[in-house]
Structures are given as C-alpha cells and as structure tokens.
Amino acid sequence: MRVGIVGYGNLGKFLVDLILRNGSKHELELDFIWNRTYTKFDESIPKELILTDLKNVVGRSVDLIVEVAHPGISKEYGSLFLTVADYFVGSPTAFADPQVNMSLREAALRHQHAVYIPSGAFWGAQDIQKMANMESLHGLTVTMKKHPSSFRLEGKLKVVNDKLMQDSPATAAVTLYDGPVKELCSLAPNNVNTMAAASIAAHNLGFDKVIGRLVADPSLKKWHVVEVDVTGNTTADGNTFSVKSVRKNPAAPGAVTGSATFHSFWNSLLLARRQGPGIHLC
Ligand SMILES: NC(=O)c1ccc[n+]([C@@H]2O[C@H](COP(=O)([O-])OP(=O)(O)OC[C@H]3O[C@@H](n4cnc5c(N)ncnc54)[C@H](O)[C@@H]3O)[C@@H](O)[C@H]2O)c1
C-alpha cells in the first residue's frame, strides 16, 4: 500500500521513520512526504519522495493520504485527496465545521474511498459507534485532564489557563470548559482530537451533543487523563446503562501529545486499509 504523509512535525517524522524502516513488513511504502516548510527535511529523506505542491497528488498512484499537520488541510485539500486515495485524518477537529464534514463524506461516497479517523486516546470508540448505530447512545461526555502547560489554547480559555500557570504556589484543578465539543474544537484545536473522534463515533449525537470537559490540573505533572462517560437506554424500572473509563497516559511535562499516542497512531495506520467507502474509526 502506497502512503503519502502530509505534515512533518512530531507525528509526521515518527510515521515517516517507521515506514522507511519497517514499512515493508506491513506492506507499506512511502509515496510522498509534504510539509509546509520545505527546509525541514533532512538528508535522510530521499528527494524524489518530497512533494512540493499538494495539488500534485492528482495523477499519483497513492493508496492512502495521511494528514498529520493541521485541521485546515482537510478543509482545503480533503475532498481533492479523496478523488485519488483513501484519507486518514490525523486532525479530526476539522469535522466540527459542518461544511468540511459534509464535503468529506460526499467526496468519500462519490469517489468510493474511505475516510479513516484514528481513535487516539478515545477508549471504546467501536463500542460507542455500535451504540450510535443502534440509536441506544443517549449521552457521551469526554473529560480531558492535563497540567496547564500541556494545553495549547485560544481565546478565553487561554487567558484562564495562562493565569493558572502564573499562580504560585499551584492552585487546585480548574474546569476550563464544559459544553458541546463543537465550540471547543476552535478554542483548543491541538488538544481535543480525542473529543472530535468521539463526536464522529457518536454520530447520533454529533459535535453539538457530545460534551467535552477540559480540566487544567497543576498536580498532573506527568500524566494526561481522559475519562469517557457513556449513558444508554433506561429500563422500564428506571435503571440506565452506563460505562465509565479512565485512561492515564504518562506524558513528559508540557508535552501536548502523550507518549502512548504515537504508537496508538501507528497502530491506527496499520488498520486503515480494506474497509471500503465511508467513515471508519481505527
Ligand atoms: N488524532 C489524535 O489523537 C492526535 C494526536 C496528536 C496530534 N494530533 C494532530 O496531528 C497534527 C500533527 O501533530 P504533531 O504533534 O505532529 O504537530 P507538530 O506541531 O509537531 O507538527 C505539525 C506540522 O504541520 C505543519 N503545520 C502547522 N500548521 C499548518 C498549517 N496550517 N498548514 C499546513 N501545515 C501546517 C507544521 O509546520 C509542522 O511541520 C496536529 O493537528 C495535531 O492536533 C492528533
């Protein structure tokens, strides 16, 4: 399977390195690498693999295009990618924009290609998707707890979080946001990919009804914590189905991406094949 990588930051380098070293074991071969800043590539990258203009994906024999750059790539190029290949969306917050959501779904169907969404730190994605398929999913809340220095925020959330970091000694945990994931995606685009994946899996609720909570906790110096709370059907005698999971991922102080996430991403990439047209969590 020929793979094109869009973005050469932490995740892009990790994936390119693994494909160049180990790809053949998994039937993966690099077709191209693109990055906004061309000078970032060192000599380990064969020149013939470097794509200078993303519009030139047309005409290449690439099977899967992997975005690990920015949600803006899906908006600008996602539909074009789907004319030639399957598309692995590393920054699924892009789907919070209803127009991007619709255009990617339409392009996937029209060109009979798959869109793959890595489940990332979202535990139980497939089970939740099954509940959404059966309309038995009634509530989903994803809570992300991190040290304030591990958040990259915009707007009003940034103001509150910056103040927390200046406070000395560290104060108690503060809930920065508690509401629909849709609004949160533009306020914390690099932190809430997990919540975006949740909103895509929970398609009967979507970005408007899946609830995201961001908690800045100064005591969490070495951990990223993700809690998933699910509610389902209620029986006639008033008992409600529920699941709660707590994922604790060791992370270096200040890191936006926890260490387990890189390997989770690689495993998602290995699953991103032969699933047919449509949207797939992997
Ligand atoms: N799905 C998940 O679970 C998950 C986990 C971690 C990161 N991510 C997302 O994957 C993407 C890459 O993460 P990373 O840790 O490698 O980030 P990074 O900052 O290390 O690298 C991003 C790369 O993309 C480029 N870039 C930045 N903004 C761009 C833009 N507007 N247009 C084109 N290129 C741009 C940068 O030059 C850089 O090379 C981010 O969007 C991040 O939010 C997703």
Class of the 2-120+262-281 domain? alpha beta
Question: Could you read off the pLDDT of 167-222 as tens digits, one per residue?
Answer: 766 678 999 999 999 999 989 988 899 999 999 999 999 999 999 999 999 999 89
- Residues β-bridged to residue 213: 143, 178
CA of 68 to the centre of ligand 1 (A): 5
- Residue whose CA is at the smallest distance from ligand 1 atom 26: 69
Beta carbon of 118 within 6 Å of any ligand 1 atom: yes
Q: How far apart are CA 108 and CA 248, in angstroms?
A: 34
Q: How far apart are CA 66 and CA 14, in angstroms?
A: 13
CA of 71 to the centre of ligand 1 (A): 8
- Residue whose CA is at the smallest distance from ligand 1 atom 19: 9
Question: Could you read off the pLDDT of 3-51 as tens digits, one per residue?
Answer: 999 999 999 999 999 999 999 999 999 999 999 987 778 888 889 999 9
- Residue whose CA is at the smallest distance from ligand 1 atom 3: 120
By the 10 Å C-beta count (0-12 exposed, 13-18 middle, 19+ buried), 203 is classed as: middle
In CATH, the architecture of 125-256 is 2-Layer Sandwich (3.30)
CA of 265 to the centre of ligand 1 (A): 13
DSSP of 24-58, one letter per residue? GGGT-EEEEEE-SSGGG--TTS-GGGB-S-GGGGT
- Nearest CA to 121 out of 92, 153, 87, 154 is that of 92
- Residue whose CA is at the smallest distance from ligand 1 atom 28: 70
- CATH 3.40.50.720 in the chain, residue ranges: 2-120+262-281
Tokens encoding 152: 């990259």
pLDDT(258) > 70: no
Residues 135-155 have a mean pLDDT of 94
| pLDDT given for residue 234 in this prediction | 98
- CATH 3.30.360.10 in the chain, residue ranges: 125-256
pLDDT(132) > 90: yes
pLDDT band at 152 (very low <50, low <70, confident <90, very high): confident
CA of 41 to the centre of ligand 1 (A): 16
- Find out whether 145 and 225 touch, Cβ atoms under 8 Å: yes
